[in-house]
Amino acid sequence: MPRDLTEADIFTAFSDLENDVVQEPFIKRKAMDVATPIEEYSFFADRVQDNADAVVGIRAKIPFKTKNNNSLRPITRTGYFPDGNPLAVDSMTFTLKGVAGTAMVTHEDVLATNGDHVLLAELMTDALQDIYDNYPRYRRQSIWSPTSGVLCQAASFASGTLTVTCDNAGLYNSHVYDRVKWIWRNMYLAVYSSAGAFKGIVQVVSKDETAGTFVVDADTTPTGIADNDVFVVSDIAGAETGYNNSGPSIFDILDDDNTFQGVDRSVAANAWAQAQVYGNSGTGRLPTYSVLSTFFHNLYKPKYGFTDYRVIDYYWSTYLRDNVRFVQGNKSRQYIDGYTAVEVDKTMLVEDADAPNDKILVADFMNTFYYTKGTLENPRGEGWVRVAKRPYYEYNLIQYALLGFEGDARRVGRLDDIDITAES
């Protein structure tokens, strides 16, 4: 390619590479990447399978049987066959939510390549690779965060240190250790008041899970962050609200009185849709063998339960460690795909980096799905496009997806009010 290139020449070469480079496996990046933090992975979220089979358009439809033909009874020598009762079926229908991402390069970035195909390819693929690297985090986050999209709630803001302290009153991640679990460094969050008024955007610099705090960048921090302000996922501009615009989470599945996928679980006839939820009236209790065994027994002795690693460590150190005399072949403390686990009767209780410190959760991995309409893909094959009146080129990606469940909810549930510091 000639050394002296016009703007049109460079952009044409840039666009021509799209089919050959963007849709092929990405080339190995040369830059050392410290933007992506080292992290643990989610035992639950990593096992939720994508499912496109039930999706038509952007709606998922799950049929289910509500009544069986159970006409069985004794019969005498000259008696009558029983009257057969009709079967009854119904269906759950829900609309998928849109998930979007955008890769961007500036006109200056493109000109700096001087039309070199290798540099252009690296520029494009590096920008796109970041989207694909971060998408699994967004998927994982959406599986755990509520339909409100709220990831945390402010208790206070120290302007001198730019530190947000969270209390998360009323949210599922209420324990101090859980309050910033679904926040990652470098992500952007939109700030809303308790009344739902948009305040601005912050970028996360770091977080402290033990203290339940995170630090925001000074350049992105709106003034006046206050008690009860909430934070939801956002992009750098905050052009579209994410508040009350998310899909259901694992906690919507593991519930017993909400309306889920169009089924009112508070109705007695819908008992099959009610997960088994056991609280302790807000009073913390130790995860003793008796408590856990009874819970797992009520859920028909599931294969797996999962919780915070601290609960696993507590159960191991309190009930199992001192009883181990021969380590080789010991099954009291195990590792499942790298996750620490302890055995309670027939159930393996496994650590999960996202799971709350004050709950034991049981899900059905065979019937919990992330319903999707295709993959994260470029709409209408547009490729890289210029942004009107701006010196940017963008590559847009979109997917429609939603977490859903299509099993007997009586086999899943949660055990609340776990407190490894409780006295009884």
Which has the closest alpha carbon to 190: 147, 140, 142, 244? Answer: 244
Q: What percent of the chain has pLDDT over 90?
A: 41
Q: Is the pLDDT of residue 83 over 70?
A: yes
Contacts made by residues 207-212, CB under 8 angstroms, sequence distance 24+: 207/180, 207/183, 208/180, 209/177, 209/180, 209/181, 210/176, 210/177, 211/165, 211/176, 212/165, 212/166, 212/167, 212/168, 212/176, 212/177, 212/178, 212/179, 212/180
Instruction: Please report the sign of the dihedral spanned by the C-alpha atoms of residue 119, residue 125, residue 126, residue 127.
Output: positive
pLDDT of residue 256 exceeding 80: yes
CA atoms within 13 A on the CB side of 204: 29
What pLDDT score does 356 carry? Answer: 93
pLDDT tens figures, 309-336: 999 999 988 876 555 544 444 455 676 7
Q: What is the pLDDT of residue 20?
A: 53
Where helices occur in 18-116 by DSSP H, the ranges are 107-112
Report, as an integer, the average pLDDT of 192-209. 92
**Token output for 129:** 């690779």
CATH 3.30.70 fits 148-245, yes or no: no
Q: How many residues does the chain have?
A: 424
- Which pLDDT does position 348 carry in this prediction? 94
368-377 and 49-51: which strand pairing? parallel
pLDDT of 22 > 80? The answer is: no
CA pair distance 369, 404, nearest whole angstrom: 5
Rank 63-72, 142-151, 249-258, 294-303 by mean pLDDT and report only the highest: 294-303
The answer for residues whose C-beta is within 8 angstroms of residue 376's C-beta and 6 or more apart is 99, 101, 131, 132, 135, 397, 398, 399
Output the pLDDT for position 36.
66
The least confident of 62-66, 131-135, 169-173 is 62-66
Task: Go through 306-336 and write b for each residue having 16 or more CB atoms within 10 A of its CB, e for each that does not.
Answer: bbbbebbbbbbeebbeeeeeeeeeeeebeee
| pLDDT of residue 233 exceeding 70 | yes
Please tell me the pTM assigned to this model: 0.83
Q: Which residues make up the CATH 2.40.30 domain(s) of the chain?
A: 148-245
pLDDT above 50 (res 7):
yes
Whole-number mean pLDDT of the chain? 84
Lowest-confidence segment of 99-103, 291-295, 296-300, 330-334 by average pLDDT: 330-334
Query: Which residue bears the tokens 């997806």?
Result: 401
